[in-house]
Amino acid sequence: MATIKDVAKQAGVSIATVSYVMNNDPRIKKETADKVLKVAEEINYLPNGIARNFKKNKTNNVLVLIHNFGGPIYQEILEEIHTTLKALQYKMIVCSGELANNLLQEKQADGAIVLDTTVEPNLLERVAKKGFPIIDQRKIYGPASEIIVKSMDGFTPVYEVVKLAILSGFTKFGFMHGNEDSPDNIKRYRGFTKALQENQIQPFCELKGQFREQIGYQAIKEYYENGNLLPEVLFCANDEMAIGVINYLNEMKVDIPKVMKIIGFDNIELGKYIKPELTTIDVNRAEWARNLAQSIVSAIEGRTTEIQKYDARFAIIRRQTF
């Protein structure tokens, strides 16, 4: 692999001159710079980006930590973050698991957006104390002033849709959980139980679907085949689980929505085409994701007064009447 010394030798200049050229230093004459760049191209020399960024103390990179790369929701959020960061002259590095922890601790970026709820809050606090801006969607305890919470409201839309169903006369409500320790699941479940409590209604049943279509299918299958009665309304903490429920009940010839109304969350594209169409909650994820990207850049560049609490707008898409 060619080195900076090789470029300097073949171009007949000093190593310092090559370094100045690679960093676009205006003090170097154009003819010298052109000569150095031509040699660098001929011998396939690539400057060490990490070292250069270290000297500049800025990488223009933003880490985005996610739990996994599957599902339609992350795809939309990541695309919006990427597009917004690019417009602001930043690059996105998406990572998960051990790699995410390593990059976070090594600070191979200028800041981080944390969408992965499995990342230890203690790690985030430790890194943030060293002046590394982090935007997280959970509440962080302790003196971590560089961590800004930007959660998406899951409580209010679920509370409102369940209230609508109660006003329509329904009293038997079930809830299908995603991952029970997920902030999204917790907020949605709290909205669900709050609406019931205000009307002195107890949950009819609770199932576990882990936010996945196939596990949602299996959860309702086991519940139904064990002889349990279906609730009048089943709220699923995301659309993928709700679609799994619909697929199974369609196979069993259960008349949806006559026997049971099914409500999801996310308004994914597939929900429009499954039969019967899925009633769901649409939260403006694109707007929220753009706000995440804008906020982390503001934090990196020291404009923290521009960062404000953000509540994504939501709409209830009533495709199954109740």
Express as a percent the part of the chain with pLDDT over 90. 52
Q: Which pLDDT value is given to residue 69?
A: 64
Is a pLDDT exceeding 50 seen at residue 249? yes
Q: Which pLDDT value is given to residue 162?
A: 97
Beta-carbon contacts of 161 under 8 Å, excluding residues fewer than 6 positions away, are: 235, 263, 279, 281, 316
Express as a percent the part of the chain with pLDDT over 70. 90
Domains of the chain, CATH where assigned: 4-47 (1.10.260.40), 60-149+286-312 (3.40.50.2300), 155-283 (3.40.50.2300)
Is a pLDDT exceeding 90 seen at residue 228? yes
Q: For residue 63, name the pLDDT band (cuts at 50, 70, 90).
A: very high
Residue 136, sorted as left (phi over 0), alpha (psi -120 to 50) or beta, turns out to be beta
DSSP character string of 242-295: HHHHHHHHHHTT--TTTT-EEE-SS--GGGGTSSSPPBEEEE-HHHHHHHHHHH
Is a pLDDT exceeding 80 seen at residue 11? yes
Which of 97-106, 111-120, 263-272, 294-303 shows the lowest per-residue confidence on average (mean pLDDT)? 97-106
Span 289-298, pLDDT tens digits = 999 999 999 9
Mean pLDDT, residues 231-258 taken together: 96
Q: For residue 70, name the pLDDT band (cuts at 50, 70, 90).
A: low
Q: Which pLDDT value is given to residue 317?
A: 86
Q: Which pLDDT value is given to residue 54?
A: 45
Mean pLDDT, residues 59-80 taken together: 84
Q: For residue 37, name the pLDDT band (cuts at 50, 70, 90).
A: confident
What's the pTM value of the predicted model, to 2 decimals?
0.72
* C-alpha span between 182 and 71 (Å, rounded): 16
Is a pLDDT exceeding 70 seen at residue 55? no
Mean pLDDT, residues 47-60 taken together: 59
The per-residue pLDDT of the chain, averaged, comes to 87
Span 15-26, pLDDT tens digits = 888 888 877 777
How far apart, in Å, are the Cα atoms of 272 and each of 161, 185, 254, 269, 275? 18, 23, 20, 6, 8
Is a pLDDT exceeding 70 seen at residue 277? yes
Span 87-104, pLDDT tens digits = 999 999 998 888 888 888
Closest Cα partner for 322 from 254, 249, 231? 231
